[in-house]
Amino acid sequence: MFNLLYAGGVSTAVAAILVGMPEPSDLRLHRADGQCVITAGSVVLFAYGESDVVMRNLAISALRRLGFTGRRVAAVMGLTENYVAAARRRAGPASSRTRTGRTLRRGGRRG
């Protein structure tokens, strides 16, 4: 049904969604009055409080899934590439993790 071949680093489905989206070089982080706003060209992608680390990490994860490289996201946000990679993993689907961070074994028992 969908053609999910990769074209230019993102799937064609994502590329179709992002038609008209600015180039990755247009990704910017604006800080003012304790607020952070991430834009791509004239489009506001995220807005969150400067001290809200959870929202920052969700924004990092979403930017990576939109096709922005880890290097570009790290540069814009003033973070290391390693931090961006770790934040993306942490913000991903919480498949088998509990709130305590312990992995569930088969059968639902905590390990």
Task: Mention every residue, 6+ apart, whose C-beta is less than 8 A from residue 70.
Answer: 64, 81, 84, 85, 88
Q: Which residue, 60, 53, 56, is CA-closest to 74? A: 60
Q: Which residues pair with 43 in a beta bridge?
A: 40
6-7/10-11 β-pairing: antiparallel
Tens of pLDDT, residue by residue, the chain (111 residues):
333 443 445 566 666 766 666 566 689 999 999 999 999 888 899 999 999 999 999 999 999 988 899 999 999 999 999 999 998 777 655 544 444 555 555 555 555
Q: Give the pTM.
A: 0.62
Tokens 């922005």 map to which residue? 68
Q: Which residues pair with 104 in a beta bridge?
A: 110
